[in-house]
Amino acid sequence: MTNNKYLEYLKRFQSVLALGLMVLALSLASDKFCTVDNGLNVLRQICANLCLSVGMTIIILSGGIDLSVGALLAFAGAVAAGLLKNGVAVPGTDLFIEFTTSGAILAGIFVGTVLGWFNGFVITRFKLPPFVATLGMLSIARGLTMLWTGGFPITRLGDSFGYMGSGHLFGIPMPVWISAALVAVFMLIMKRTRFGRQVYAVGGNERAATLSGLNVNRIKLLVYTLGGALCGVAGLLVTARLDSATPNAGLGYELDSIAAVVIGGTSLNGGRGTIMGTVLGCLIIGVLNNGLVLLEVSPFWQQVIKGLVILIAVAVDKMGAKKS
């Protein structure tokens, strides 16, 4: 086998190799790492980021980016918790609407979907750079969360809602089942549907996609809408697990989401990457966070190490793009 073949295989499986080496090193460094309970804990911890990162993957594949995912997560979770706990009174009438658990869940996902759609609308309608448009949405969603909660957490949401975040099915945490189902659905969408192929085409060369007859604006609008819906799901998982919707939920999740996508091999230039690669990226981030905690590394150093990992991943991506 030639050197080029070796390099090609190494690049293809670099995420798997990195995860394997990390697991091996942490297993040797801490006897608490390689246990069933800790493995399930890692899977549970990455579920919210996995939902966000799947949405971020299809957005980046289309040539965009979304810096508002953490804020959308917080607002969607807060709306669901507020409606479930307090209901809503219709202004100007004596009508008061109470929400069941299912209704609150649907409301949270709906909020994330609408705000994601608004991101896509602003980007496609007014031709704003995705960086600017989603940065504005970050501030809007954070402000709406503060207004909705009054700056205080919404707690005691009930066992039926909490089961989604802390319950188990066949010994596996419910968030793992939910995120795994979403991963399977979006892998199928991106690999087997016309829409998936169109997303890759738009991200690979938007001008060529337009000239070939694709409705680029419609595709981008749908991409951001789906990303928003997944933010809603992530917000529900975080809120249900903590049994609390806090105004500052999701802070820093943008960093973890983008890091997972890039580490998983998706190009920031768009048009290249996979959902499975993002799953591996989330596992790497989750294992890294878990291992640093078990090794009692300072939280400040954890941020430094995570930043270095992101820089290395982006540098590798850029070098691979140049060779291509």
Give the pLDDT score at 18.
82
Instruction: Say yes or no to pLDDT of 132 above 80.
Output: yes
* C-alpha closest to that of 248 among 113, 152, 104: 152
State in words which class domain 32-323 has.
Answer: mainly alpha
E strand or H helix at 46, and its extent?
helix 36-61
What does the pLDDT look like over 257-283, one tens digit per residue?
Answer: 998 998 888 988 899 999 999 999 999
What does the pLDDT look like over 160-195, one tens digit per residue?
Answer: 999 999 999 999 999 999 999 999 999 999 999 999
Instruction: Say yes or no to pLDDT of 322 above 60.
Output: no
91-100, 169-178, 282-291 — which is least confidently predicted? 91-100
Instruction: Say yes or no to pLDDT of 210 above 70.
Output: yes
Give the pLDDT score at 82.
95
Give the pLDDT score at 19.
86
Instruction: Say yes or no to pLDDT of 323 above 60.
Output: no
Q: What is the dihedral of CA 282, 114, 239, 84, to 10 degrees?
A: -160
SS3 labels along 87-141: CEECCCCCCEECCCHHHHHHHHHHHHHHHHHHHHHHHHHCCCCHHHHHHHHHHHH
Locate 202 and state its tokens. 């738009």
Mean pLDDT calculated for residue range 96-107: 94
* C-alpha closest to that of 58 among 176, 251, 228: 228
Give the pLDDT score at 3.
61
107-111, 165-169, 242-246, 302-306 — which is least confidently predicted? 302-306
Locate 286 and state its tokens. 């989750």
Which residue in the block uniquely carries the two structure tokens 């969607």?
A: 76
Q: Give the C-alpha separation, 125 to 30, whole Å.
A: 53
**168-169 and 154-155 as β-strands: parallel, antiparallel, unpaired?**
unpaired
One DSSP character per residue, 148-206 reads HHTTS-EE---HHHHHHHH-EETTEEHHHHHHHHHHHHHHHHHHHSHHHHHHHHHHH-H
Instruction: Say yes or no to pLDDT of 107 above 90.
Output: yes
Instruction: Say yes or no to pLDDT of 301 above 80.
Output: yes
Give the pLDDT score at 318.
66
Instruction: Say yes or no to pLDDT of 9 above 70.
Output: no
Burial environment of residue 125 by CB neighbours within 10 A (0 to 12, 13 to 18, 19 or more): exposed
- Global model pTM greater than 0.95: no
Q: CB neighbours (10 Å) of residue 282?
A: 31
Q: Give the C-alpha separation, 81 to 232, whole Å.
A: 12
Quote the DSSP letter at residue 270: S
